[in-house]
Amino acid sequence: MTKADIQLVRALADKRGRTEHGLFVAEGEKLIGELRASHLSVRRIFSLEGVFNGPEVETVAPRDMERLSQLKTPSNSLALVEIPRCDLKPERLRGRLTLALDDVQNPGNLGTIIRLADWFGITDIVCSEASADCFNPKVVQATMGAILRVRVHYTDLAALLSKAAALGLPVCGTFLEGANIYETELKPAGIVVMGNEGRGITDAVARTVTQKLFIPPWPADRRGSESLNVAMATGIVCGEFRRQASAKAGK
């Protein structure tokens, strides 16, 4: 392992470095094992002795792994992976459920949402350009491997949603003045918008929404927290969409 290797890994902690090199960092034996078996291209692997074998693997000492690792507790392996490229057109979203994230900026929230999408069979997430980078090391670790199966796209969200709505795709969003999600009929396919942790959905994106939804507290007149964490809210919304779809399919 060279000084240049250490500098490269450290550069990939920053979005500018990831964009420049076209690489992201993944750590841990389980995640890297899944990456090697996936469609993604693993450029290099640094690992402790006996963890991995192959032409792309370089065995390093525990002290070197401590210098490379971006985790509080160093893992036994670290991989440099090529960032995948994929295009997304609104018409390709027909017939399926898609998540749209409007300036979700916390890496932990984004990682959890990607993991939720994977659990609920959602293959695409569309993000505003101000949202957290899905290849941030914290996001990658938080996805627990779901980043391999969920495609995350960055675009002018309001423009894309406007095109989707014009194509007849339902665009749903969560609002405090929305309809009770448990009492509203939800179509099994469409786009669900989740807003920023503090500000919610921006005005430009809100104008594209065709169905406003609200997750009520229990009991309905209870006074407590002003809002739900965006990742928790996403789990509730996705769960209700899938519950209703399953109920309709069972009739």
Q: Are 184 and 213 in contact (CB under 8 A)?
A: yes
Give the range among 15-19, 83-87, 197-201, 206-210 with minimum mean pLDDT. Answer: 83-87
Query: What's the whole-number average pLDDT of the chain?
Result: 93
Give residue 223's pLDDT band: very low, low, confident or very high (50, 70, 90). low
Ramachandran category for residue 238: left, alpha or beta (phi over 0 → left; psi -120 to 50 → alpha): alpha
Helix 230-249 vs helix 107-119: crossing angle, to nearest 10: 10
The dihedrals phi and psi of 26, each to the nearest 5 degrees, come to -130, 140
Query: pLDDT by residue (tens digit) across 10-51?
Result: 999 999 999 999 999 999 999 999 999 999 999 999 999 999
What is the arithmetic mean of pLDDT over 204-219? 93
The whole model's pTM is what?
Answer: 0.91
Q: Which residue has the higher pLDDT, 108 or 224?
A: 108
pLDDT, residue 25, reads 96
Q: What is the pLDDT of residue 248?
A: 86
Contact assessment for residue 199 and residue 103, using Cβ atoms and an 8 Å cutoff:
yes
Predicted local distance difference test score (pLDDT) of residue 240: 97
What pLDDT is stored for residue 55 in this prediction?
95
Rounded mean pLDDT, 125-139: 96
| Helices and strands in the chain: count of H runs, count of E runs | 9, 10
Residue-range domains of the chain with CATH: 3-82 (3.30.1330.30), 90-249 (3.40.1280.10)
For residue range 136-166, list pLDDT tens digits in order: 999 999 999 999 999 999 999 999 999 999 9
What are the backbone dihedrals phi and psi of residue 46, each rounded to the nearest 5 degrees, phi first? -105, 125
Provide the edge-to-edge strand list for the sheet that holds 42-47.
Answer: 23-27, 77-82, 42-47, 57-59
pLDDT confidence of 251, banded at 50, 70, 90?
low
How does pLDDT run across 50-99, given as a tens digit for each residue? 999 999 999 999 999 999 998 888 999 999 999 998 888 888 889 999 99
Q: Residue 227: is its pLDDT beyond 80?
A: no
